[in-house]
Amino acid sequence: MKDNKLQILDIIPGTSVDGPGLRTSIYLAGCNHQCPECHNPQSWDFAGGKAMSVEEILDVVEENGFNVTLTGGDPVYSAAKILPLVKILNEKGYKIWLYTGFLFEELLKMESMRPILPMIEVVVDGPFKIALKSLKVPFRGSTNQRLVDVASSLTIGQIVEWTDPADML
């Protein structure tokens, strides 16, 4: 049944641009933010890509063994459908990053995100803004976007920016 499948534009194993180390980036179809000068406007179509089951996606992730980044499009628009995938990835010990055009404060108010957020290591939040584009900020396209350490932020009730442990050596 197609309803339990996710619309996937691409799965790229071994990328180093969507979080620390080598990762498997899963590009989900669909985005209503439509940021001007988006680097991936083909991702806006919710019917784009191909329908894949959680099992099919998991097979690709496990074949490579890298931590996972959910991006797109915007995975938040598919929150109910990504929940089973996030649960399994979390149970298997994968660290998960999630890219979204929503602000973290908005995610906290979304019922569909409540069960997902505690299983996410970092949320890269905020819309891409061409006027704030920078190649100097790691893992982001513009300086308004934040790397939110989800566990710390949920624990203390305010935004805690993620710090790369490699920077502390």
Q: Are 71 and 28 in contact (CB under 8 A)?
A: yes
CATH number at residue 81: 3.20.20.70
For the record, the structure tokens of 43 come out as: 């991702």
What residue numbers bound the domain in which 159 lies?
Answer: 2-168
pLDDT digits (tens, 9 = 90+) for 85-108: 999 999 999 999 999 999 999 999
Helices H / strands E in the chain, number of each? 4, 7
Check residue 1 and give its pLDDT: 40
Residue 168 has pLDDT above 70, yes or no: no
Q: Are 96 and 86 in contact (CB under 8 A)?
A: yes
β-partners of residue 11 are: 26
pTM, entire model:
0.93
The domain total for the chain is 1
